[in-house]
């Protein structure tokens, strides 16, 4: 990494030029030239954050960026340097503990990343060198090496395909871990390359590394025996990407063109940065406020000290003469050291132990996610996994969810549901029903329409068997196991669990999963596709006769045409065109009288969430075929505008067709996917779907998941809509953005406060669809254009839509969209969820990243903050666990500031009565133990176990999630309430005890109580009040709560007796010797302690008793009724809080 950066600085980086030249096999071309190998980066992958050398400085720097850690470091140094009232141990020890625990935790997490990197880098691969096959570690591959990969292996770097074991010079790969598509893609070898790669002399000239997975431009110069070098163009169909897997091909050989961190996969990988929660930012803001309070207290005391000492006789009384050294000390230096001493004395107002408690709460709290039995998936025998416990509370603050589609929302498992032929609906029942498995379930649209004959049915089934790019899976010995049940789009299924016939036990591979579903659908009704052999397609029909068709041309699918066709020649010599595609692209190209018979079925299937395709055919005359054949051949040889010329020929051939029927295919959703999405939207969370898949597929999934409803108006910004107007894309983009902005933002009624757009009473819900190409135009538009304006318009449109679908996206684009929303006004909390390596950038960019333990490898899980087995578990993770985590930690933070203000305010007030002499009110043991022992365990138990609303109610009522949205419990309002409560309690403790001490002779024998007795009474009232205040706030009592609350109070009493009842040899002065025992011997002290505790807690008790349930609490009554199943007793909502906390436990809703 360092070498590469130096190269760039010194101008030695190859990125200065637009292309790179690669020598195949690292041999000079032509062979007579001197060969100087160009320098490219090695093949190492680095995802870790630290090294052995930089761990300590880098980690310490990151930790001391925390304002509290830095503050305590300064206080510790002051205590070491300046003579202060308290020992350096009081702040140094907790700080050392926090820093050490955090460093160990982060070091362990990075060690796991190092381990994962080594697994990839040390993986053995086969490299061809000097005619020999050499096994070497993946990290040692160099650009130009010829690498051999066998079936089911992953490509170790980006390769250009030179040789394949298949006869047709192709190979099949799956890119599930890159773009989420688990279907097979066909890649082609470079034409005219030598069969013997050892004798191949060639160079490759190609573009510099760039992250777009779907783009590659290059050319190959092949040198042969003093002839002119042959030049062959290279495109994405020749490029095998690192991370993709070889399928259905025994082995291939390819030359490495991009390695290591320059591969397309690595360029789509976002570096892992430290994520910080919104709660931590709130803590930092509150700390600044308390720091200001601390400084102002120290300034007031320092000023008043010197004002008081300026009076005659106060600075140097007769009984306390100054030494010569004190007299010689500079006045301003003395004032500064006094100021620092007051800072140290009051420094306990900043709760150092809060960070320790928060770290422990996050770490221990994460186990509840791991232990939750509802997250256990019996299929993979695993539960949830927590990789980062720092973000538990963020799960309760999510405003946007960005989800992948393939493998996350869907299982990517297509199933043929039904079809319609000439207006009759056919649904598969079983093999014994009439018409060889067909079952007529609908009558025709028109009574005059006759039932379609057998010939029409067979034509439809032949179309399904021929109009596709499916290939039959070659039988291999290891074919049956194939990846723990994952066969990508290689299916070898029998019929609904029945014993399948041998010809039905065949596997299919295709570029689209629904093509496999259609071929298998035809197979159910007696027509079996046997495979493609040297351009001949073979079909086994119902009579078990083999029909052979010569494949003449494939008119490939593209998103603009939204259809694909094949031209075949039958045995009788007829040229037939079979076409299938979306209804919108097929209906205008067939006879209109045929359309009405089928339209009703197509629309009904679409509303049910099925993927629909229409099937048409056309018999071509000899002249029509000759013209089409010539046009296609000419267009495919064109170097300029090849796509446009092919499109013109396609459109010319695909006209005047006859509509046969339509199909309905179901892309099975993940379990409870629709319910989960509905619950998230009910919680006020916006859901965006980011996928690399086609728009039609993704759109139907959004309908099936109920993200788009039937009444949702879709705003589409894709290549198709940009080309509709016939103008420049840039102009059309500007026009569409302004139009959509007017409809979705300007003309929309304003949303009510606190209600998200999708749940407001607007007349029209909008859904937004955008593709990767349009996003590139918006993000990468030239600086002189309105790039930032486009982004702003896009963001406003999306924020006013109920759901957003982004399709055909590169992984890095997912991260860009995420960043755009994350950095928008208000800084919304974002969550991303995915299951493949293509989702890693998105997972790392979001505030919270969730990986699904799917079938596409574990890259997403390794890079996520949390991992769950299924999408359905997201509902409980956010609505129950997230809600409770946030409420718990918000209460913990506010409570810590409150109890430390109660603790230190009497110390501040005491300075007014002790001549500002920095005299501590409390003993050093009490100062050290207050936050560590006496009050830490009850709040830790509360922050781990509290359930102010039980989980069942939270899951049943998603709207409860909205009540804590936007950091509601850590805003300035609640913070001010807690601060005022702390001030009230602090004043009451100090002046209540001072009133008692108006006559300090409180014992029967007339003995006077001193200043340590005063401080001990205040401290006793303090400890009991803050602990009982937490008991009042507890709704969910367990034996642990009882043990720590009453145990902490008992420990305080025991410690005070023990500490003051023994003469400790290591103490120079024994301030509390028998003070506590003497204090308890006074009835007046008992009375004041009890009265002050009751007076302090009285406002809390009265507030709960007298307050009627209103606002959010009134809305919570209904959820409880519905979840219990009957009306709730009125007593439950009116019971005083103190009584209720001891009886009603977790299902109490106040």
Helices vs. strands in the chain: H and E counts, helices first: 38, 33
Q: Residue 312: is its pLDDT beyond 80? A: no
Q: Please check whether residue 607 is in contact with residue 570, taking contact to mean a CB–CB distance below 8 angstroms.
A: no
Q: Which residue do the tokens 């066998």 mark?
A: 150
Name the band, by pLDDT with cuts 50, 70 and 90, for residue 201.
confident
- The 8-class DSSP code of residue 980 comes to H
- What does the pLDDT read at residue 577? 92
Q: Look at 99-113, 309-323, 678-692, 783-797 and tell me which has the smallest mean pLDDT.
A: 309-323
Burial of 753 (0-12, 13-18, 19+ CB in 10 A): exposed
Averaged pLDDT, 902-909:
88
- Give the whole-angstrom CA distance, residue 425 versus residue 176: 35
| Angstrom distance (rounded) from CA 440 to CA 426 | 5
Task: Give the least confident one: 51-65, 491-505, 609-623, 935-949.
Answer: 491-505
Smallest Cα–Cα separation from 888: which of 993, 998, 1036? 1036
**Least confidently predicted of 326-335, 528-537, 623-632, 666-675:** 326-335
Residue 854: pLDDT band (50, 70, 90) is low
Q: How many other CB atoms are found less than 10 A from the CB of residue 1105?
A: 13
Among 524, 489, 490, residue whose Cα is nearest residue 507: 490
What is the mean predicted confidence (pLDDT) over 611-630?
A: 88
The whole-number pLDDT of residue 486 equals: 34
Angstrom distance (rounded) from CA 177 to CA 391: 26
Cα angle vertex 189, ends 186, 193, to 5°?
Answer: 170
User: Which of 54-58, 491-495, 855-859, 1108-1112 has maximum average pLDDT?
Assistant: 54-58
Strand partners, 509: 471
| More confident position, 1147 or 1095 | 1095
Q: Which residues lie across from 221 on neighbouring strands?
A: 203, 231
Instruction: Compare 79 and 768 and report the one with higher pLDDT.
Output: 768
Question: Distance between CA atoms of 349 and 475, rounded to whole angstroms?
Answer: 74
What is the model's pLDDT at position 1025? 92
Of 338 and 1038, the structure prediction assigns the larger pLDDT to: 1038
Please choose, from the candidates 810, 576, 581, 781, the residue with its C-alpha nearest in 3D space to the C-alpha of residue 696.
581
The enclosing H or E element of 1085 equals helix 1083-1106
Residue 1144: its pLDDT value, please? 35
pLDDT > 60? residue 1143 = no
Average pLDDT for the chain: 76
Say what the pLDDT of residue 844 is: 83
Residue range 280-299: mean pLDDT, rounded: 85
Q: Is pLDDT at 1112 greater than 70 in this prediction? A: no
Nearest-angstrom CA–CA distance, 244 and 836: 11
Q: Containing H/E element for 768? A: strand 766-771
Alpha carbons 1135 and 1150: distance in angstroms, whole number: 9
DSSP 523-590: HHTT-EEEEEETTEEEEE-TTSPEEEEEEEEEE---TTT-EEEEEEE-TTS-EEEEEEE-HHHHGGGB
CA distance 143 to 1120: 65
For the record, the structure tokens of 860 come out as: 């997403």
Kindly list the distances between the CA atom of residue 882 and the CA atoms of 367, 870, 966, in Å, as whole numbers in the listed order.
13, 17, 13
For range 373-395, the mean pLDDT? 83
How many other β-carbons are positioned within 10 Å of the β-carbon of residue 22?
22
- On whether the CB atoms of residues 249 and 166 are closer than 8 A, the answer is yes
Residue 316 sits at φ, ψ, to 5 deg, of -140, 75
pLDDT digits (tens, 9 = 90+) for 209-225: 888 777 777 788 888 77
Q: Would you give the distance in Å from CA 355 to the centre of its chain?
A: 26
* 800 pLDDT higher than 50: yes
Return the closest-CA partner of residue 1033 out of 984, 977, 991, 983.
977
Task: Measure Cα distances from 1048 to 143, 663, 934, 1026, 1045 in Å.
Answer: 66, 70, 6, 11, 5
- Angle 775-778-780 from CA coordinates, rounded to 5°: 100
Q: Is the pLDDT of residue 962 over 60?
A: yes
Highest mean pLDDT of the ranges 8-22, 1094-1108, 1122-1136: 1094-1108
Whole-number Å distance between alpha carbons of 1056 and 1033: 27
Q: What's the rounded mean pLDDT across residues 672-685?
A: 86
3-state secondary structure of 801: coil
Instruction: Report the catalytic residues.
Output: 404
By DSSP bridging, strand 528-533 and strand 508-509 are unpaired
Structure tokens at 165: 């074991």
pLDDT digit string, tens, across residues 438-448: 444 443 333 33
pLDDT band at residue 639 using 50, 70 and 90 as cut-offs? very low
Least confident of 47-61, 770-784, 827-841: 770-784
The two tokens of residue 661 are 């029927």
Measured CA to CA, the distance from residue 35 to residue 835 in angstroms comes to 45
Which contiguous run of DSSP H or E holds residue 1045?
A: helix 1039-1061
pLDDT band at 752 (very low <50, low <70, confident <90, very high): very low
The predicted pLDDT at position 435 comes to: 38
Residue of 874 and 597 predicted with greater confidence: 874
Residues sharing a CB contact under 8 Å with residue 1050, sequence separation 6 or more, in sequence order: none
Nearest to 758 by CA among 699, 818, 680, 700: 680
Cβ atoms < 10 Å from Cβ of 656: 12
Cα dihedral 992, 995, 1001, 1007, rounded to 10, equals 40
In this prediction, residue 469 carries a pLDDT of: 80
Q: Is the bond preceding 144 in cis, omega lying within 30 degrees of 0?
A: no
Residue 337 pLDDT: 80
CB 743 within 8 A of CB 766: yes
- Label each residue of 1116-1137 as H, E or C: HHHHHHHHHCCCCCHHHHHCCH
Distance CA 737, CA 792 (A): 10
pLDDT tens digit string along 162-196? Answer: 888 887 777 888 877 676 566 677 787 887 777 77
User: Bridge-partner residues for 491, per DSSP?
Assistant: 508
Written as six digits, the tokens of 576 are 């037939």
* Three-state secondary structure of 432-458: CCCCCCCCECCCCCCCCCCCCCHHHHH
Burial, 417: exposed, middle or buried (Cβ in 10 Å; 0-12, 13-18, 19+)?
middle
Phi, psi of 212 (to 5 degrees): -65, 120
The token duo for 824 is: 């928008």
pLDDT at 254: 92
Give pLDDT, residue 579.
93
**Residue among 616, 645, 619 at smallest CA distance from 630:** 645
Count Cα atoms within 13 angstroms, Cβ side, for 532.
18
Q: What percent of the chain has pLDDT over 70?
A: 78
- Give residue for tokens 């079996």: 528
For 102, 302, 842, 907, 999, the CA distances from 334, given in Å and listed in that order, are 38, 10, 56, 22, 36
Mean pLDDT is lowest, of 268-282, 317-331, 1045-1059, for 317-331
pLDDT of res. 1027: 92
Q: How confident is the model at residue 456 (pLDDT cuts 50, 70, 90)?
A: confident
Q: What are phi and psi of 426, to 5 degrees?
A: -120, 125
Answer with the residue of higher pLDDT: 1118 or 246: 246
Residue environment code for 788-806, b if the CB has 16+ CB neighbours within 10 A, otherwise e: eebbbbbbbbbbbbbbbbb
pLDDT for the residue numbered 738: 85
Q: How far is CA 359 from CA 340, 364, 1042, in A?
A: 29, 9, 23
Which is it for the CA torsion 156, 157, 158, 159, positive or negative?
A: negative
For residues 860 and 869, what is the distance between their CA atoms, to the nearest angstrom?
A: 12
> What angle in degrees, to the nearest 10, is found between the helix axes of 89-121 and 67-81?
130
511 near 407, Cβ under 8 Å? no
Q: Quote the CA–CA distance of 91 and 520 in Å, as a whole number.
A: 72
């Amino acid at each position: 990494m360092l070498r590469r950066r130096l190269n760039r600085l010194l101008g030695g980086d190859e990125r200065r030029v637009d292309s790179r030249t690669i020598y195949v096999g690292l041999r000079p071309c032509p062979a007579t030239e001197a060969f100087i190998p160009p320098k490219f980066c090695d093949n190492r992958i680095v995802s870790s954050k630290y090294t052995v050398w930089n761990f300590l400085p880098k980690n310490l720097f990151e930790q001391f960026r925390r304002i509290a850690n830095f503050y305590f470091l300064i206080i510790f140094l002051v205590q070491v340097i300046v003579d202060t009232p308290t020992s350096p141990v009081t702040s140094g020890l907790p700080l050392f503990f926090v820093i050490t625990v955090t460093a160990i935790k982060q070091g362990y997490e990075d060690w796991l990343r190092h381990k994962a990197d080594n697994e990839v880098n040390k993986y053995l691969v086969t490299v061809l060198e000097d005619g020999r096959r050499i096994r070497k570690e993946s990290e040692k591959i160099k650009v130009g090496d010829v690498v051999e990969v066998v079936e089911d292996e992953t490509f170790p770097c980006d390769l250009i395909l030179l040789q394949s074991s298949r006869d047709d010079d192709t190979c099949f790969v799956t890119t599930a871990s890159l773009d989420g598509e688990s279907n097979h893609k066909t890649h082609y070898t470079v034409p005219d390359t030598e069969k013997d790669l050892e004798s191949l002399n060639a160079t490759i000239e190609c573009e510099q590394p760039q992250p777009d997975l779907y783009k590659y431009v290059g050319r190959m110069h092949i040198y042969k025996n003093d002839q002119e070098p042959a030049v062959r163009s290279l495109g994405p169909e020749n490029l095998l990407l690192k991370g993709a897997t070889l399928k259905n091909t025994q082995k291939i050989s390819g030359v490495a063109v991009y390695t290591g961190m320059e591969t397309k996969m690595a360029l789509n990988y976002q570096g892992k940065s430290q994520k910080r929660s919104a709660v931590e930012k709130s803590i930092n803001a509150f700390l600044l406020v308390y720091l200001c309070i601390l400084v102002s207290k120290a300034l007031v005391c320092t000023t008043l000290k010197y004002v008081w000492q300026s009076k005659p006789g106060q600075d140097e009384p007769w009984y306390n003469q100054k030494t010569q050294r004190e007299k010689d000390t500079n006045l301003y230096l003395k004032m500064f050291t006094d100021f620092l001493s007051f800072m140290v004395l009051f420094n306990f107002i900043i709760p150092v132990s809060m960070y320790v408690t928060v770290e422990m709460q996050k770490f221990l709290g994460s186990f509840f996610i791991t232990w939750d039995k509802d997250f256990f998936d019996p299929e993979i025998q695993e539960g949830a996994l927590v990789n980062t416990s720092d973000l538990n509370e963020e799960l309760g603050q999510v405003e946007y969810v960005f989800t992948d589609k393939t493998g996350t929302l869907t299982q990517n498992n297509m199933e043929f549901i039904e079809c319609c032929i000439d207006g009759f609906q056919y649904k598969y029942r079983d093999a014994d029903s009439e018409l060889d498995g067909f079952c007529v379930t609908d009558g025709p649209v028109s009574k005059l329409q006759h039932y379609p004959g057998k010939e029409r049915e067979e034509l439809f089934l032949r179309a399904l068997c021929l109009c596709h790019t499916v290939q039959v899976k070659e039988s291999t010995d290891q074919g049956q196991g194939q990846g723990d049940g994952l066969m990508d789009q290689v299916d070898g299924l029998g019929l609904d669990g029945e014993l399948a016939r041998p010809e039905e036990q065949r596997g299919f591979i295709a570029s689209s999963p629904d093509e496999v579903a259609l071929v298998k659908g035809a197979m159910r009704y007696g027509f079996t596709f046997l495979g493609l052999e040297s351009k001949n397609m073979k079909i086994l029909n119902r009579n078990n006769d083999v029909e052979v068709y010569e494949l003449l041309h494939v008119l490939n699918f593209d998103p603009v045409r939204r259809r694909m066709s094949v031209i075949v020649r039958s045995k009788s010599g007829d040229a037939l065109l079979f076409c299938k595609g979306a209804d919108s692209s097929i209906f205008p190209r067939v006879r209109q009288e045929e359309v009405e018979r089928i339209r009703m079925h197509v629309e009904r299937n679409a509303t049910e969430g099925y993927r629909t395709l229409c099937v048409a055919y056309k018999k071509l005359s000899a002249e029509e075929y000759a013209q089409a054949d010539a046009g296609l051949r000419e267009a495919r040889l064109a170097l300029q505008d090849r796509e446009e010329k092919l499109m013109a020929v396609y459109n010319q051939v695909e006209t005047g067709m006859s509509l046969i029927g339509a199909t309905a295919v179901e892309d099975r959703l993940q379990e409870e996917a629709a319910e989960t999405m509905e619950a998230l939207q009910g919680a006020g969370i916006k859901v965006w779907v980011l996928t690399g898949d086609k728009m039609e597929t993704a759109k139907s999934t959004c309908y099936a998941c109920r993200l788009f409803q039937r009444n949702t108006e879709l705003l589409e910004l894709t290549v198709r809509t940009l080309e509709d107007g016939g103008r420049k894309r840039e102009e059309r983009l500007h026009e569409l953005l302004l139009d959509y902005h007017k409809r979705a933002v300007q003309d929309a009624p304003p949303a009510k406060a606190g209600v998200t757009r999708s749940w407001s009473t607007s007349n029209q819900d909008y859904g937004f669809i955008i593709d990767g190409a349009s996003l590139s135009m918006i993000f990468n538009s030239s600086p002189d254009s309105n790039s930032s304006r486009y982004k702003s318009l896009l963001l406003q449109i999306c924020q006013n839509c109920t759901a957003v679908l982004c399709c055909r996206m590169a992984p890095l684009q997912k991260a860009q969209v995420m960043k755009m929303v994350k950095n928008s006004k208000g800084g919304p909390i974002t969550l991303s969820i995915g299951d493949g390596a293509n989702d890693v950038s998105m997972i790392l960019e979001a505030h919270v990243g969730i990986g699904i333990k799917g079938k596409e490898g574990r890259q997403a899980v390794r890079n996520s903050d949390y991992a769950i087995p299924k999408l359905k578990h997201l509902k409980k993770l956010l609505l129950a666990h997230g809600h409770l985590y946030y409420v718990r930690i918000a209460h913990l933070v506010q409570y810590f500031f409150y109890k430390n203000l109660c603790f230190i305010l009497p110390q501040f007030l005491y300075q007014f009565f002790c001549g500002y002499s920095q005299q501590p009110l409390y003993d050093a043991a009490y100062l050290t133990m207050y936050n560590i022992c006496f009050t830490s365990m009850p709040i830790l138990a509360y922050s781990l176990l509290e359930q102010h609303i039980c989980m069942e109610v939270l899951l049943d009522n998603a709207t409860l999630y909205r009540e804590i949205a936007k950091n509601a419990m850590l805003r300035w309002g609640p913070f001010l309430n807690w601060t005022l409560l702390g001030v009230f309690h602090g004043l009451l403790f100090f002046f209540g005890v001072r009133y008692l001490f108006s006559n300090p002779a409180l014992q029967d024998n007339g003995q006077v109580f001193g200043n340590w007795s005063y401080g001990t009474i205040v401290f006793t009232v303090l400890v009991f009040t803050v602990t009982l205040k937490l008991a009042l706030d507890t709704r969910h009592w367990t034996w642990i709560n009882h043990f720590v609350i009453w145990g902490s109070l008992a420990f305080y009493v025991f410690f005070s007796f023990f500490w003051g009842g023994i003469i400790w040899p290591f103490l120079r002065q024994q301030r509390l010797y028998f003070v506590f025992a003497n204090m308890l011997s006074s009835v007046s002290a008992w009375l004041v302690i009890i009265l002050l505790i009751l007076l302090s807690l009285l406002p809390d008790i009265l507030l709960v008793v007298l307050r009627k349930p209103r606002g959010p609490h009134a809305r919570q009554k209904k959820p409880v009724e519905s979840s219990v199943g009957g009306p709730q007793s009125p007593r439950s909502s009116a019971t005083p809080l103190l009584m209720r906390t001891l009886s009603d436990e977790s299902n109490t809703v106040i």
